[in-house]
Amino acid sequence: MNAEQKQLSKDNIVQANPTKDFFVYMLTRDIELEDAILELLDNCVDSIVRQIGKIDGEKPYAGYQAEITFNNKQFCIEDNCGGIPLDVAKNYAFMMGGTLSENANTNRGLLGAYGIGMKRAIFKIGQTATVVSKHGDTGFQVNINDKWLKKRNWDLRLTVSNEVMSHSGTKITVSNLSSKAKTACYMGEQGGFPRLCDKISRHFAYIIAKGFRIIVNKREIKPKPILFQWVNQATGRKKTGIAPYIFQANYEDVEIEVIVGLYRELPNTAELDQELKYGTMSFENAGCTVICNDRVVLYADKTAVTGWGFATAPSYQPLFVAIAGVVHFRSRNPLSLPMTTTHGVDVNSAVYQRAIVHLQEGLDVFTRFTYQWQNYAIRTEMAKAIKTVDIAEIKNLANDNALLGKWINMRNHKGMSDVHIFWPKLIEPNPNIDPTVITFAKPDSEIEEITEYLFEQPDYLLTPSDIGDICFREILSKARKNYEW
Ligand SMILES: Nc1ncnc2c1ncn2[C@@H]1O[C@H](COP(=O)(O)OP(=O)(O)OP(=O)(O)O)[C@@H](O)[C@H]1O
Ligand SMILES: [Mg+2]
DSSP H or E run through 5? helix 3-11
31 within a domain of the structure (yes/no): yes
> Burial of 416 by CB count in 10 Å (0-12 exposed, 13-18 middle, 19+ buried)?
buried
Q: Hey, what amino acid is at 173?
A: T
The mean per-residue pLDDT over the stretch 178-200 comes to 79
Q: Is the pLDDT of residue 192 over 80?
A: no
Same domain, 100 and 172: yes
Q: Please count the structural domains in the chain.
A: 3
Same domain, 70 and 112: yes
Tell me, using a 6 A CB cutoff, whether residue 27 lines ligand 1.
no
pLDDT at residue 305 in the model: 95
Q: Hey, what amino acid is at 316?
A: Y
Residue 47 main-chain phi, psi, to 5 deg = -65, -40
Tell me, using a 6 A CB cutoff, whether residue 65 lines ligand 1.
no
pTM of the predicted model, to two decimals? 0.89
pLDDT at residue 350 in the model: 96
Least confident of 85-99, 200-214, 438-452: 438-452
d(CA 128, CA 374): 57
Same domain, 89 and 167: yes
d(CA 118, CA 318): 39
12 within a domain of the structure (yes/no): no
388 within a domain of the structure (yes/no): yes
How is 30-65 classified by DSSP, letter by letter?
GS-HHHHHHHHHHHHHHHHHHHH----SS-TTTT-E
Check the CA dihedral 93-298-24-179 and report its sign. Answer: negative
pLDDT tens digit sequence for 105-137? 566 789 998 999 999 999 999 999 999 999 999
Same domain, 138 and 284: no
Q: Which of 325, 319, 397, 387 is nearest to 355 (CA)?
A: 325
264 within a domain of the structure (yes/no): yes
Could you say which of 220, 244, 264 is where a domain stops?
220
Distance between Cα 88 and ligand 1 center (Å)? 9
What CATH code is carried by the domain that includes residue 26? Answer: 3.30.565.10
| Beta strands 65-70; 213-216: pairing state | parallel
Same domain, 190 and 300: no
430 within a domain of the structure (yes/no): no
Distance between Cα 387 and ligand 2 center (Å)? 37
Same domain, 107 and 176: yes
d(CA 217, CA 188): 9
Q: State the ligand closest to the CA atom of 116.
A: 1
d(CA 187, CA 75): 13
pLDDT at residue 483 in the model: 65
Could you say which of 188, 220, 252 is where a domain stops?
220
Calculate the average pLDDT of the chain. Answer: 89
* Shortest-distance Cα residue to atom 11 of ligand 1: 93
The mean per-residue pLDDT over the stretch 178-206 comes to 83
Q: Is the pLDDT of residue 103 over 60?
A: no
432 within a domain of the structure (yes/no): no
**Domain span at 368:** 228-424
Q: Is the pLDDT of residue 403 over 60?
A: yes
Task: Answer yes or no: are the C-beta atoms of 98 and 115 closer than 8 Å.
Answer: yes
Q: State the ligand closest to the CA atom of 118.
A: 1
Same domain, 159 and 85: yes
pLDDT tens digit sequence for 302-323? 999 999 998 888 999 999 999 9
Tell me, using a 6 A CB cutoff, whether residue 118 lines ligand 1.
yes
Same domain, 459 and 383: no
Least confident of 48-57, 180-189, 223-232: 180-189
pLDDT tens digit sequence for 249-262? 999 999 999 999 99
DSSP H or E run through 182? helix 179-191
Confidence of residue 232 (pLDDT cuts 50, 70, 90): confident
Q: State the ligand closest to the CA atom of 84.
A: 1
91 within a domain of the structure (yes/no): yes
325 within a domain of the structure (yes/no): yes
Q: Is the pLDDT of residue 149 over 80?
A: yes
pLDDT at residue 234 in the model: 65
Q: Is the pLDDT of residue 404 over 70?
A: yes
Confidence of residue 101 (pLDDT cuts 50, 70, 90): low
pLDDT at residue 462 in the model: 77
Same domain, 163 and 282: no
Q: Which of 263, 320, 329, 302 is nearest to 110 (CA)?
A: 329
Tell me, using a 6 A CB cutoff, whether residue 116 lines ligand 1.
yes
Same domain, 400 and 474: no
Least confident of 252-256, 446-450, 453-457: 453-457
Tell me, using a 6 A CB cutoff, whether residue 79 lines ligand 1.
yes
Contacts (Cβ under 8 Å, ≥6 apart) of 327: 256, 257, 258, 259, 288, 289, 290, 291, 306, 355, 356, 358, 359
pLDDT at residue 260 in the model: 97
How is 383-413 classified by DSSP, letter by letter?
HHH-EEEEHHHHHHHHHHTGGGEEEEEEEEE
Return the ligand 1 atom nearest residue 339 CA: 26
Same domain, 39 and 63: yes
Tell me, using a 6 A CB cutoff, whether residue 81 lines ligand 1.
yes
Task: Answer yes or no: are the C-beta atoms of 368 and 293 closer than 8 Å.
Answer: no
The mean per-residue pLDDT over the stretch 236-260 comes to 91
Could you say which of 167, 191, 220 is where a domain stops?
220
